[in-house]
Copies of this chain bind each other. A is one copy, B any other.
Amino acid sequence: MWSYQAPLRDMQFVLEHWLQAPQAWSHVPAFEALDMSLAVQVLEEAARFSQGVLAPLNSSGDRQGCRWNAGQVSTPDGFAEAYRAYVDGGWPALACAEGQGGQGLPQLLDAALQEMLYASNHAWAMYTGIAHGAYLCLKTHAAPWLQARYLPEIVSGHALPTMCLTEPQAGSDVGLLRCRATPEGDGRYRLQGNKLFISGGEHDLTPNILHLVLARLPDAPPGSRGLSLFLVPKRLDDGQANAVHCDGIEHKMGIKGSATCSLVFDGALGWLIGDANRGLAAMFVMMNSARLHVGLQGLGHVEAAWQNAGQYAAERVQMRAPSRPQGASAQAADPIRYHPAMRRVLLELRTASEGMRAIGYWTAHLLDQAEHDPDPQAQACAGQLAQLLTPIIKAFFTEQGFRQASNALQVFGGYGYVAEFAIEQTLRDSRIAMIYEGSNEIQANDLLLRKVLGDEGRAFDLLLAVLRTEAGQGGQCAACAGFADALGSLCDALARVVEAIRERALEDSEYPYRAAPDFLQLCGVALLALAWARAARVSRALPEDDPLRAAKLQSAGFFFDYLPSRLAQHLGAIDAARAALAFV
């Protein structure tokens, strides 16, 4: 049956060896008190919570789903108790500033926590997933009194926030939003309008829900420059219900334990966050955090898929395999993990999961550096890199989440298609992540048009420099030299392809839009190449008899064997995109 064990060993490897995070922490006053042993303690606690409390509710939550009744939403059995345990454990405060009642731990540890939450129960973690983004948004943009009033509720977990963007006619295009906000004259506003697909818009986990709502002021210009952001609590300070209600929840393909709500704001009272008509900028603080989170959902799904497929493939016997591991004796039928097609899938799952972990955690680590690094230039570079990586993490990771869940399902054969083994749930749950918080197509345009071409390649050059530095260290170990060489060639190819796109775009301004999806995939594969070149190299620091040492080299070997075919696919498609695309 479906199960989840937090991959603590690999998480530690990434923190300690791949990122050398303890060294970085020691240079940062904010993390002075943090060392590897404390980090491991935090991870072990998070693992206990995820494995012991959330994972057992994953399948039952899917079966039961949420129920809507006259505006009230009941979450599946056990969800509310799990949330109380989460609050009691102090998890909402993990990466919040100490000055705000938080624990002041790095985003990096929060990323590991989030991976575990999403892997063990994506639907449940939808309720908590937006909280850190809302915290950052309020902290950056809200008036001091509003911060003082509401930040402690978020940090403590006593209230949960939502992110109210989408309306029936406005999904990817926020410029089409119609929700209106009318000033009351006393600093308050009355909101009127319908919001759709609001995760956690109503539930029974917390007494109050803090809606962050994009709406238009009476004199606002049309389009996305006329949006303002408001905080609209479900309950007002006098204990009265605010004029917002949930008039239905969606019946979805997956994450059925997460309440996806239609909200009606019917003169609900709220407060402006940040400046009038600058709501999108404020919302983007939240959105960027959410996009990294969504990427971590993809990572969580790949990890869960890998664990469950690996276990099933070791237990299920079918047919003789053409070869066996040394020492395994011939039997009437072999474990299916011996069969070549299954070996390839299992290696794909493992390299995707571990490679994505390194890259996802690196992005969170960059966010920490961008906030806390004592060197202002290092701070700026880290911020630029994190911004560049965010759309790749969001889109590439979520596509991998879905693809590897499907690969894992295939390992189970017919058993994969039935609810009992729940791998089909992983596949269903994973699919939403390619859509929400900016569809993967939006991410591809954001990456290529805004963050690479729009930035004149500055951030992209920073990324190439990181890749080239890694490629230059191949001499450190004979076994890794080939990986480093391949990474070096890939850097040249990346530089060439960006240049070619830039040139072509001068005469065909639509070309970057056509090339964007494959360019993003190419960047994702390049990041995995960085992950595996470095993982192989730094694994040499592990003791000779540590099985992880051999496994990392083995995985890197597999990854680099198949790298050329992946590059050829995406480079070829970027080239093919030169041709005009018909309107059908």
Contact = CB atoms under 8 A, between A and B. Distances in A.
Contacts of A223: 332
A428 B253 contact: yes
Contacts of A333: 173, 175-176
Interface string A303-324: 0000000100000001100111
Contacts of A572: 562, 564-566, 568-569
7 contacts: A260-B418, A310-B584, A344-B581, A347-B581, A562-B576, A564-B575, A565-B576
Contacts of A337: 583-584
Contacts of A416: 435
Nearest to A424: B253
A318 B172 contact: yes
A331 B38 CA distance: 57
Candidate in A409, A561, A571 with the most chain B CB atoms within 10 angstroms: A561
A338 B173 CA distance: 14
A150 interface: no
Interface string A548-564: 00010010011001101
B417 A439 contact: no
Contacts of A583: 324-325, 337-338, 343
Interface of A: 166, 170-173, 175-176, 196-197, 222-223, 250-254, 260, 310, 318-319, 322-325, 332-333, 337-344, 346-347, 350, 402, 406, 409-410, 413-414, 416-420, 424, 427-428, 431-432, 434-436, 439-441, 444-445, 509-510, 513-514, 516-517, 551, 554, 557-558, 561-562, 564-566, 568-573, 575-577, 579, 581-584
Given A171-B413, A340-B581, A572-B565, A510 B322 contact: yes
Contacts of A418: 250-253, 260
Contacts of A420: 250-251
A172 B319 contact: yes
Contact of A417 (B253, B310, B325): B253
Given A418-B252, A419-B253, A565 B558 contact: no
A542 to B, nearest CB: 18
Main SS of chain A's interface residues?
helix
In order of increasing CB-CB distance, the 6 nearest A-B pairs are: A565-B572, A568-B568, A569-B569, A253-B424, A340-B513, A173-B318
A96 to B, nearest CB: 30
Contact of A419 (B251, B409, B444): B251
Contacts of A197: 414
Contact of A562 (B251, B253, B323, B573): B573
A445 B551 CA distance: 28
Nearest to A568: B568
A341 B513 contact: yes
Contacts of A568: 565, 568-569, 572
Contacts of A584: 310, 337, 343, 346-347, 350, 551, 554
Contacts of A410: 434-435, 439-441
Contacts of A414: 166, 171, 196-197, 435-436
Contact of A344 (B436, B439, B445, B514): B514
A417 B254 CA distance: 8
Nearest to A440: B410
Given A428-B253, A572-B565, A318 B413 contact: no
Given A173-B333, A573-B562, A347 B582 contact: yes
Contacts of A561: 576, 579
Nearest to A343: B581
A571 to B, nearest CB: 8
Given A175-B332, A565-B571, 20 more contacts: A250-B417, A251-B418, A252-B417, A252-B418, A253-B427, A310-B584, A322-B510, A337-B584, A338-B583, A341-B513, A344-B514, A347-B582, A414-B436, A416-B435, A428-B428, A554-B582, A561-B579, A565-B568, A565-B569, A568-B568
Contacts of A350: 584
Nearest to A323: B510
A401 to B, nearest CB: 12
A571 B572 CA distance: 13
